[in-house]
A and B are shown apart, each in its own frame.
Chain A
Amino acid sequence: MAGPLEQFEIQPLYPIEVAGYDLSFTNASAWMIFALLVTWGFLFFGMRKSELVPGRWQSAVEGLYEFVHGMVDTNIGPKGKKYVPFIFSLFIFILIANLAGLFPYAFTVTSHIAVTFAFAAFIFFMCVLIGLAKHGFRFFSLFLPAGTPWFLWILVIPIEMISFLSRPITLSVRLFANMTAGHILLKIFIGFVVSLGVAGGIWSVVGILPFAMTVALFGLELIVAVVQAYVFALLTTVYLNDSINLHH
């Protein structure tokens, strides 16, 4: 039987090599394209016949958009309106990648630090550049919360700098660790079901227990997949708010 970590292996589906670099079309790429197609299909066919009184599908699309728009509006305010499409794409891509990973034999794109860190690093540099472009060198006052007494500066500034620089790490590792740990846990419990079922006799009956646990864990993983996508998008808006409005 496959080990619990085997599900995360990247296999090349169509080997491509350019100038010594391995640029193969892998199962990870395939599932990213799948997430993209599902997103596109969901949005395109939902809004194809946009009506004044929305049907079920159109309400789902509009509800999702309203949700993200509300999140950006409460966290950033009116200045954040132009970032809604970015946050929305980020949220829906991560959400669908997370959810697609829950299907048996599927590959979870977001269970790879390379993918999540690429997102997080992009967001981090975007926040820094927006902050510098909007506020110039005043952007660095982010490291000194307003109203800090002067004798605490030497303590507060390094702490704030470390917490700022660790943002891309925590943002990426949170998503990656949650997805990886959840899938390993699922795989281990599914392995119990199989090995107890094969054992025969009374053990096959006992196998119902890990099966029930697997069902419950799938429910939990469903919540985790949605919450982690939401937390990723929420933290992105919070970081953007720091760059756009500086003092919150």
Chain B
Amino acid sequence: MDAAAAQLLGAGMAAIGIGMAAIGVGLIFGLFLLGALRNPAAAASQQPQLLFGFAVTEALGIFAFLVALILLFVV
């Protein structure tokens, strides 16, 4: 396999990591809704926590995205 093909394959594989982060982000919002529906009064005060958790989880998907970008454009 030549190097260019391997780069493209690697970039595609890095997309798996983005999908994994998507699972995590989905879990965060799903579990927040689960909690928010049980106790709607407390939901609004936890909104910043929700977005913070979302941002931190998304960061790991961003690393995978960076790997793809580096493979495609930098290496």
Chain A interface residues (CB < 8 Å from chain B): 71, 74-75, 166, 169-170, 173-174, 177, 227, 230-231, 234-235, 238
Contacts and interface: CB of A to CB of B under 8 A. Distances in A.
A87 B55 CA distance: 17
Given A166-B63, A169-B62, 18 more contacts: A74-B48, A75-B48, A169-B66, A170-B62, A173-B65, A174-B55, A174-B58, A177-B62, A177-B65, A227-B51, A230-B51, A231-B51, A231-B54, A234-B51, A234-B52, A234-B55, A235-B55, A238-B52
B27 interface: no
A234 B59 CA distance: 14
Given A71-B48, A74-B48, A75-B48, A231 B66 contact: no
Nearest to B66: A173
Nearest to A170: B59
Interface residues of B, number: 11
Nearest to A174: B62
Given A71-B48, A75-B48, A231 B62 contact: no
Contacts of B65: 173, 177
The A interface is mostly helix, strand or loop, or mixed, namely helix
A234 B48 contact: yes
Interface string B20-64: 000000000000000000000000000010011011001100110
Contacts of B48: 71, 74-75, 234
A52 B17 CA distance: 53
Contacts of A234: 48, 51-52, 55
Contacts of B59: 166, 170, 174
A166 B63 CA distance: 10
B57 to A, nearest CB: 11
A74 B65 CA distance: 32
Nearest to B65: A177
A80 B55 CA distance: 22
Contacts of A75: 48
21 contacts: A71-B48, A74-B48, A75-B48, A166-B59, A170-B59, A170-B62, A173-B62, A173-B66, A174-B55, A174-B58, A174-B62, A177-B62, A177-B65, A230-B51, A231-B51, A231-B54, A231-B55, A234-B48, A234-B52, A234-B55, A238-B52
B33 to A, nearest CB: 16
B44 to A, nearest CB: 12
Which of B51, B52, B54, B59 has the most C-beta atoms of chain A within 10 angstroms of its own C-beta?
B59
Contacts of A166: 59, 63
Contacts of B63: 166, 170
A173 B58 CA distance: 10
A75 B59 CA distance: 20
Nearest to A237: B48
Contacts of A170: 59, 62-63
A88 B58 CA distance: 24
Which 8 pairs, one residue from A and one from B, show the smallest C-beta to C-beta distance? A170-B59, A231-B55, A173-B62, A170-B62, A177-B65, A174-B62, A231-B51, A235-B55
